[in-house]
Amino acid sequence: MTLALVGGTHRTVPLDLRERLAFSAEQVTEALNRFRDRFPGREGVLLSTCNRVEFYAAGAEAAPPAEQIVSFLAECRGIDAGLLTPVLAREQDEAVVRHLFGVASGLDSMVLGEPQILAQVKQAWALAQESRTSGPLTGGMFQAALRTAKRVATETALGRERTSIPSVAVADFASGVFERFDDKRILLVGAGKMAAETLRYLREAGGRDVTIVNRTASRAVELAARLAARPGDFTALEAELAAADLVVSTTGSTEPIVSSDLFARVEARRDGRPLVVLDLAVPRDFDPRIGDRPGVWLYCVDDLAAACEANRKSRQRELPAALAIVDEETRRFMGDLHHRATTPVIEQLRAGWSETGDAELERLFRRLPGLGDAERAEIRQAFERYAAKLLHPPLASLRDESRAGPPHGLLDALRRLFDLKD
């Protein structure tokens, strides 16, 4: 039996090619159905995210050759295989297991320890199960990957520190002032990617009442519709600021859009209510002197970046412990996999000894016709215990050898010693 991996990530595949290679959930299902027809009896799982496309294959005898998997992926996406060959990595057996366990645990992600990848790994396996391309080999490997990811999450602090500006802005800074967000009025100034990502974290924290304003009104309307928010009027910025409890500003303005004088007018209308401002723009959107006003918590990108860097260092300190878990679980899985390969020999050994024992018992019982059922049962149990004790040393040796690698030499020796046939 063999395991194989062919795939590429943001580190190895250029973005324009990665975009062409990416699979939607529907396209994954179509590809797996095609794989099942192309490689009958083989197992396959396709993992496709914004940062990686990886195909995991397995076979009781052998997985499909890597070159065929590359050609298969190219065919599915209508790409010249020559473009993929130099950028897609190829792994086999233990290296495949170690890689998948690291991926599921967030150790191979762009942001170390990010948790979203685990859900994507689960979905990839679920689609393979629905398409009937997952079997005992890939199924066991993906189950073990989920177990490994759970251990990394619970036994290390790898995923507990936030490393993106928006996540730190909400969880470390805004939450330091407000205990809850479901009763707060949130104002987003700007309608770019940073604003959208910050709003996602605010939604997760409970934020519901969200207004978006932007100099280009159509962009505010578009983002508000996409994120279930309310578009506001940029020309009424003072009124929006007066009503807000939390402001996230991400414009591309070259000058502050909220001067100290403007905020003084806003402040008079706020009745002393606290205000948190997350100024994520570079250059800054808010005059830094506003942060000196009573009841105002003003944070800029530099404040948040320092927290991000501290969190990154904290995650890096957790990396050795996470890698140790991956190593341990990889050895455990490979040991189980190698031991599984010994099953036919074990069954032959047991069947041979059982057949010989039954024949000898029948001969003994014919010579001792006066034995009752209880005596016969006691003698049979003694034979079975004796056979089990004799078989224990070779079976224990097989188990121990499996932990270190495929026990080919010992299997061959047992076949010759006991005249076992393939």
Cis ω before 407 (30° cut-off from 0) = no
Report the phi/psi class of residue 78: left, alpha or beta, with left for phi > 0 and alpha for psi in -120 to 50.
Answer: left
Strand order in the sheet with 43-48: 43-48, 52-59, 2-9, 89-92
Q: How does strand 185-189 pair with strand 89-92?
A: unpaired
Whether 50 sits among the annotated catalytic residues: the reply is: yes
Distance between first and last Cα of the chain: 15
Among 50, 76, 300, 308, which one carries the catalytic annotation? 50
C-alpha distances (whole Å) from 145 to each of 32, 80, 104, 340 are 20, 32, 6, 18
Q: Classify residue 406 by burial, with Cβ atoms within 10 Å: 0-12, 13-18, 19+.
A: middle
Give me the sign of the Cα torsion angle 197, 201, 202, 207.
Answer: positive
Element (DSSP H or E) covering residue 413: helix 408-417
Q: How far apart are CA 15 and CA 175, in angstroms?
A: 35
Active site residues: 50
